[in-house]
Amino acid sequence: MIKLYADHNTEEVYNQVIGKTFPDTETGKDGPDFDEWSSYIKGLGQFLEVYYKYFATLPNGTELKRIGHQLTKLKSYLNKFEAFKNEMSLVRAIELRTNHLKARRINTGKTPTIITDENILICQHLFRMWYKTFKALPTGTYNNSLDHGADREELDIFDYNKNPGGFYIQTAFSEYFAIKLDNKQTKDLIQVTTNGLSLPLEEPVVHEEYNVKTFPHIMGWTNE
C-alpha cells in the first residue's frame, strides 16, 4: 500500500521537487508556493487513504456479473413506476462505477509493476499542478540505447536542467511516497498517464475534500 510520508512534506523537499523544476520569474518562483504545494500533497495523501479504504479492493468476476444482472433487473422494475424515474441517475451512477471496476479487473495482473492504478492516480495529480503553470504535460524523454551502456547513473535520475518534467515526477514519487523510479520507468509512467488524459486539465484543487461520497465524483465515475 502506497502512503504519503508526511514528515517529508517540508520546505527542504519542496525546494528539491518544485524549486529545481518550476521557472524563476522577476517576482519569484512561477509555480505553487510552499503552503499551496504542502496542502496539495497532504490532500493527495488523504486521497490515497480513501482510495485504499473504500475502492482498491475489487469484486471478483462472478460478483461483478451478479451486480450487473441485478442492476438490469432493478432498472427494468423501477422504470415501471413514474415515482422512481427521477431517481434513475443513482442506478446509472452505480452502473458507471461497475463498468470501471470491470475494466480494472480485466487489466489486473497484465501491466508492469510500475504501471498501477495507484501510480497513475498520483501522476495525474502531479500533472495538474505542472499543467497549471506550463499549460503542457511533463515529459520523460529517454534514450533507450542507454539500457545497453555501462553508466547506470544516466538511467537512475533525470537531469533537472535538461528534463525538468521528468525530474519533477521522478523526485515527487521518491521524496513523498518512497517509490524509486529510474528514468525509463518514469518515462513509461508519464506516457501511460498522458494517454489517459485529455487537455485542458482541470485546475488543481488545493483543499479538496476526499471521502467515500466525494471520491466517485472526483474520479469521474458518476456524471452527477
**Cell (9 digits) for 19:** 524549486
Burial of 172 (0-12, 13-18, 19+ CB in 10 A): buried
- Residue 28's pLDDT is what? 53
| Ranges under pLDDT 50 in the chain | 148
- Residue 194's pLDDT is what? 94
DSSP per residue, 50-101: HIIIIISSPP-HHHHHHHHHHHHHHHHHHTT-GGGGGGHHHHHHHHHHHHHH
- Residue 25's pLDDT is what? 61
- CB-based contacts of 128, cutoff 8 Å, min separation 6: 201, 202, 203, 204
- Residue 98's pLDDT is what? 82
Read off the pLDDT of residues 54-94 as tens digits, 9 standing for 90 and up.
777 777 888 888 888 888 888 888 888 888 877 788 788 78
Is the bond leading into 200 cis (omega within 30 degrees of zero)? yes
- CB-based contacts of 94, cutoff 8 Å, min separation 6: 67, 71
Coil, helix or strand for 28? strand
- Residue 38's pLDDT is what? 94
Please report, for the chain, the start and end positions of each structural domain, with discontinuous segments joined by +.
6-56+114-195, 61-107
- Gap between the Cα atoms of 75 and 133, Å rounded: 45
- Residue 219's pLDDT is what? 64
